Structure 1
């Protein structure tokens, strides 16, 4: 396939090439007759494109296409810079705000050529269109929250003449759910103690699961872990919190140390990537958040773990609920999970039978 990629791309040396050129080459490849092609035309084109892009990326020869010009010029870029820097939002939250704001601006530019002409009526019409399209109330709440933030920012810059933001009202969904969102702790322990192979994928998964279940870390915090964050002499590791930018140090239990060592010695490929968890195939880079979620979900489903959610956050909920059931004070749990205050722990308290008892000191041994 690589020989066909080179032939259809018509290149004699590795020079930067964009995705459009690859797509044009795939169209030429589809027209080439050959008995080896038994798949559909769409499948053939997809196989060619994915192979070509992976090969070019491996050789750092995949040119990055220029991003499309956003509607209303610098309104969206300036707002995203504001929420990312001034508000110190996590990358995942910034992506969510970007997606919602850009969709609204693409819709709005068909109504008004100039941003300053937008008004409350336009926002109400947009929200009404989402309701008619069948969007869930939770998503509409997120849209209202984002638009209120967007117009509050533009008003502070003088780009919007009237106080539009104050007219955007929304009802926050309840923060406390009476039903648990993660599996029971007995199910978590069964998952952590399950026998696995010595394949790199399983060794990486074993270590990843411990970080989510024992320490209740967020996916971005696990993805951002560096090799230098592990202090084997002190038997501790450092976490950069996704929210607030603080750092915390945690002790490494013997169970976690065993899994980490197995992954480093046998499972982790030799790579100059500074991240602790890296991809299984080159070019080696940090394991993405989506991949971490898939690792957790796949292991949970393979072992038939019963859980309302199959995600990294489900294990964070299980960790918090177990700490509450073990009578750990709520302020200790808030600090342990990287929350700014005790109020956030109330999210987990509704599903705990011992959420209000304030006794004992925190110990990792209580998680066993």
Structure 2
């Protein structure tokens, strides 16, 4: 269906009128009477109300510019697999910058595309997603925790078997906090309480700068057997410049870490054991976790698994320096063998 092109204020007013006329939160499809509509909003509009007004099949286009959105917790309708709800830039080459933070609960079949979100609320992440099925976050940039002292730039949590079938891919997440907390300032913190059917994919992201934590942490809390995520695939990510690059902890199950470029770890195990690792299995008690075919450099070991709970299925070794070029979101390996891993990976790995 062709997009409806309306003046900005009229578009948002019409969108909010739809919200008042349609009961929220009921799962629906286009066949249930929700035609696909496209609306446009700009930096002066209320993003919480705009998100709450969207219905299955709707697309919200955000004009270029910097938006002071505050920390928003919209109560969102649920999309469907055939009628997802999409938020993306009006001009693909000029993605908007949203300053504040976004917290979404049960965002079934939502798609956030190419959004740049800078955390600005005290101790709050740039993006926090609770539960949901089939949601996608792609092509974006998330940062700001270094200024807000949030535990993560991106947090993914939930319970009761959710989230399910989520995708977080081709994003850049950078500059985690550097607080006095002990090793707990992460770039991506995946802490949902797993159950049968839960899980998703974190792939092809660039994750940089987490000196007091991990690039990706899979696990929740610091207590023995604390519940953590099940069924997460971490694949083809470039994760560099941090304490550890991937951390799994406690009761995590059925997670897979493969094809990642993991480099320049700085956090020693203890005050007396100064060794470092690319991937750390901390007190893992769950089963079915698998790692393999990861390129680790700038660390003393590829995998630290003192309890022997993680199965190695594929190459895991410390390799030559990846000869990184670029900085931040543009970082990439210069060494040709390293290019087979991380965000530049095609899923085919060289023989060693």
TM-score band, normalised by the shorter chain? Answer: under 0.3
The normalised TM-score by structure 1 is: 0.24
The normalised TM-score by structure 2 is: 0.24
Question: Which is helix-richer, 1 or 2?
Answer: 1
Question: Which is strand-richer, 1 or 2?
Answer: 2
